[in-house]
Amino acid sequence: MVTTASPDTYHRVIEYGLRKTSLRFDRLLLQAFMAGVYIGLAGQACNMFAGGMPTDPTDTRAVSKTMQKFMYASIFPTAFIAIIFTGAELFTGNTMTMLICLIERRITFLHLVINWVGSFIGNWAGALFGAYFLSYLPGGYDQEPLYSYMCYVQHAKVSYGFGQCFLRGIGCNALVCLAVWNVTACDDPATDAHDGLPRVCGHCRGTKFHTDILG
């Protein structure tokens, strides 16, 4: 594993952000769309594995709620690994990299807005595409225990107040930015994949995916 010191990583992040400004807007949208699709596919896998595990104590196959959450969180980082390896555009990572470039006066505010708007819209559209065409239409979510699990997850997410969502979002996306920082510091793909694991605790990123399916 080869990593750089913090000052060098900081400069790498700036270079990473500067490269994003050269992307045509249509390519930005496409790469952001694919990032949303990867999020959706990972969410699908999480639902099938974690949601398919019964938690009813009367069921001999039952697992604890903690194990169910751990299974979900263990699978979801594959989305982030796919995004890093394919060069897709994730809004969360772009928030950090583009803001650093702006603070260092290496880009204009217009560059930042274009990147943020394009990556946000693309991520949302990709997640919506994955939820509808790759999950809802193929079916299977009307079967137990998966249906009850999905209803439980969605109800829990939409029941949070604004303050709770805001604070949970900070924790979630701080870990995503940490993963982007770590990946930028690494020189080999194996380490990139390993450092994508802070994404484990960022599984609430799948909120859009769950809401799109059942909403």
pLDDT in tens, 88-126: 999 999 999 999 999 999 999 999 999 999 999 999 999
Query: Which domains, from first to last, does the chain contain?
Result: 12-185 (1.20.1080.10)
Percent of the chain with pLDDT over 90: 35
* Interacting residues of 87 by C-beta distance below 8 A, sequence separation 6+: 31
Residue 182 dihedral angles phi and psi, to the nearest 5°: -65, -40
DSSP annotation of 59: S
For residue 25, the model assigns a pLDDT of: 96
152-172 pLDDT, tens digit per residue, is: 888 888 898 999 889 988 888
Nearest to 36 by CA among 94, 80, 3, 4: 80
pLDDT band of 55, cuts 50, 70, 90: confident
Q: How large is the average pLDDT for residues 59-63?
A: 81
Q: What is the pLDDT of residue 207?
A: 45
Query: Distance between CA 66 and CA 53 in Å, rounded?
Result: 12
N- to C-terminal Cα distance for the chain? 44
**Average confidence score pLDDT of the chain:** 83
Note the pLDDT tens digit of each residue in 120-148: 999 999 999 998 998 888 877 778 778 88
Which residue would you say has higher pLDDT here, 174 or 212? 174
